Structure 1
């Protein structure tokens, strides 16, 4: 574990201690991850005869969904699944065959939140065939794509998609393709020692009630797994961009893109593909929360800062929703990351000659050279269609973000052609292929 200064470590531990005491949590553990490694671990309360350790297991609930999402994206990258595929192409016989894989991953398929069984989090689950037999048209609550509606059932269906393509259970596929490559060997479907017992804390007395635990069967992909602070720290590092042998960096970045956001003046929470998203303290966070009877957990990462945070608790309710982000705020206060030193780079003279002022009609833009032959095109004044571009082998550039994401930039003789829009050195410069002709400035009408 990398070192953290005494002042920061003390402030983090105090915040954790206040939460455990004031929220009356039987035990609470947390980790800060930096640059792919745990930088701080703290714990309060007891599990058995001692304090929780990095190897103590807790249930992680719906954090399971983010891991299942990673396996689905592996199927996509292998060409076995397209995100626009209807579910029925892969799993027949449900009333939701028209809902797409992407909509299931982003909770925009309109499916009911819970399966048509007894309270599934508190009762033994059913095999998939028995669950599917209970599904009816009433399980569709909204038109697909209309709105975000969190659906545990949707991830039960995605687990079956994984199982049918891999010829094994979703859990075995997850273990082989994600958990083992990331070294998450203490993440399991059922608890192993040492593990915390799940409790409900009486609202008006300091007494505990043990909560049930079982195999959720077909609903297990929605929230079955147990994990440890050490393993969940590896997951946080993965979400922040450490993806060896599991997902291509671009695929993980796609999972972190907002597919749906809260309806507000400025979005503060949303959902990508299997990942919850949030904005807090100037950070854009990706991760997931988890809740099962007797347990709460949260993991967030900030890929831009290569930092992550997580907590795990054995209580049904009561932990502050802002605990994880407050720990990040303490980190920022006491040990903010230093910017990397600026260093000059060697530049291709031909690319260097492209930099500077360009015009889209009368509007001035600046073209800047980025590392590894990348380009940045931004308006000189105020907001506008800003994008970054990556070089391609055919001599063109591909838009990475903003309005021109996915569009192609070509360099002509004295002009730029950006998906048919012509940028010139001077406004409406003569001699460039501007449709309609550049005309003449100041000419009488």
Structure 2
């Protein structure tokens, strides 16, 4: 019997058409449940109807907000409202008792603890860290001589983030919604600060490490933990029963709001014993923060003098202890992986605003509008989002093009038929690009079903590639060696991209 290696004819055009349509239809059904979800502010409203309407008018539809909890203080009266929900699926309407991570707004409380302790002569603003940690070895004498006041005003020169948590995987993981401060203890903070240099001492450079060091120094001087210090000095005197510091993410109650990055993926909560003074692990409500802000405005809050402007910043703003003053508004914002916050007040009009959100989209523009000021405009926000949106669309187009390349027939004279190497490289590239678009795509302004359509078209191409595989040459002439080289290079490139995304996702 004689055998032959002759290729069998590839499926005809009609058969390929039926297969493409079938594969696309099946892919549409399978991809729809897992498509990225563009975040939009829901129609739910609670609390003061007029305030809720004002916030809804101020909030940009494309900003990526899911839930907002706000408070407005006018003439000593506090009004609150909630908009949207606590989570994408199965959440409840937001109200003034909904718990949100409030991030770096915690720094204002840490700074006010310093001002309060100074007013009680328990420390001096000029007390140095070497006086509080006399047994600590400091790499740089300038760090050892750093005062508490320099830490509170970001003038210490200590870097914002220490190298121990600033590696690329950790940074990417935090972009994808992870907790960069996980596992950081008080000892880690002290050692990282003591091991740093103060090359830019005297300049105002925002430093999370510096503020964590400040909070732990104050707690050490008081002889208690930072959460206990915050409770005794700020929360208890002001009756802030909703505000807590949770250093173990497993202990976050189920009814707290869930946080999301604006591409729609749920984030991990930020928690850290060491970085609690900067806002890692801090949860509060708009009602509680309104109580805090109201007492700060009228000067009855412990350490309210921290708000007083003391130093001028390069942009013309002024800074006190943590609190900044810009265009007549004294304020601070906060941001964790999946939450944003703003507290601010007009000292002249005694008017204040609190805004809490459970996505990474910034909210200070809402707070500024409530206070009668102009923040970034909607057009500026959209312009800033366009590069990522364009990149997302390019990823989808490149993935969808798999169908056109793999199904290409002999009638296309200008474009050659694919070979096995082309099918393999196009398929892997499409998988990576769809994953990248799913993970970090700009879905707060793009239509989510675009991802489903691109995935479906890719699936059609992949099915056709599988069916045509036995009938295609491995490497098409006239330069098969060059085809191998370019294909291997392409596979390595897209594998590297896949590893980067996967590493960041795992590092969450």
Q: TM-score, normalised by structure 1?
A: 0.63
TM superposition shift of 1:140:
2.1
SS class of match (2:276)? helix
Tell me if structure 2 keeps the 8 A contact 1:122–1:213: no
Note if contact 1:239-1:287 (Cα within 8 Å) is conserved in structure 2: no
The equivalent position to 1:311 in structure 2, one of 349, 355, 368, is: 355
- Does residue 327 in structure 1 map to residue 370 in structure 2? yes
Partner residue, 2:149? 102
Question: Are 2:206 and 1:159 aligned?
Answer: no
Aligned to 2:79: 39
From the superposition, tell whether residues 102 and 330 of structure 1 become closer, same or farther in structure 2 (CA, over 3 Å). Answer: closer
Aligned residue in 2 for 1:228: 285
Please give the alpha-carbon distance, in whole angstroms, between the structure 1 residues aligned to 2:125 and 2:74: 32
Residue 81 of structure 1: CA displacement? Answer: 1.0
Residues 151-194 of structure 1, C-alpha deviations (whole Å, 9 max, x = no match) = 11111111122222221111101112210111111111134353
1:377 is matched with none
Q: Cα distance, 1:13 vs. partner?
A: 3.6
Structure 1 residue 259 displacement after superposition: 2.6
CA contact (8 A) 1:11 1:330 kept: no
Shift of 1:287: 2.7
Q: TM-score, normalised by structure 2?
A: 0.56
Equivalent residue number for residue 191 of structure 2? 133
1:237 paired to 2:294: yes
**Within 2, Cα distance between the matches of 1:295 and 1:28?**
10
Q: Which residue matches 1:300?
A: 344
The reply on whether 1:53 has 2:95 as its aligned counterpart is yes
Residue aligning to 2:235: 179
- More relative contact order, 1 or 2 (CA 8 Å, 6+ apart): 2
Q: Is the 8 A contact 1:57 1:192 kept in 2?
A: no
Q: Which one has the largest radius of gyration?
A: 2
Give the CA RMSD over aligned residues: 2.5
CA deviations 1:117-151 (Å, max 9, x no partner) are 22584241322223433446544240x22x11011
- Structure having the higher strand fraction is 1
Structure 2 residue 278 is matched with structure 1 residue 278: no
- 55-64 vs 132-141, which deviates more? 132-141
Which structure has the highest helix share of the two? Answer: 2
Q: 1:218 aligns with which of 260, 270, 274?
A: 274
CA distance in 1, matches of 2:290, 2:254: 19
Quote the residue 2:69 is aligned against: 29
Q: Deviations over 1:13-44 (max 9, x none)?
A: 4325x43x321212112111123331342423
Question: Are the structure 2 counterparts of residues 91 and 40 from structure 1 closer, same or farther at C-alpha, using a change threshold of 3 Å?
Answer: same
Superposed counterparts of 1:1-16, under 5 Å: 9=51, 11-16=53-58
- Closer/same/farther in 2, CA of residues 59 and 141 from structure 1, 3 Å limit: farther
Contact 1:45/1:51, CA 8 A, preserved across alignment = yes
CA contact (8 A) 2:189 2:213 kept: no
**Cα separation, 1, equivalents of 2:160 and 2:125:** 21
Aligned residue in 2 for 1:263: 314
Q: Does the Cα contact within 8 Å between 1:61 and 1:297 map onto a contact in 2?
A: yes
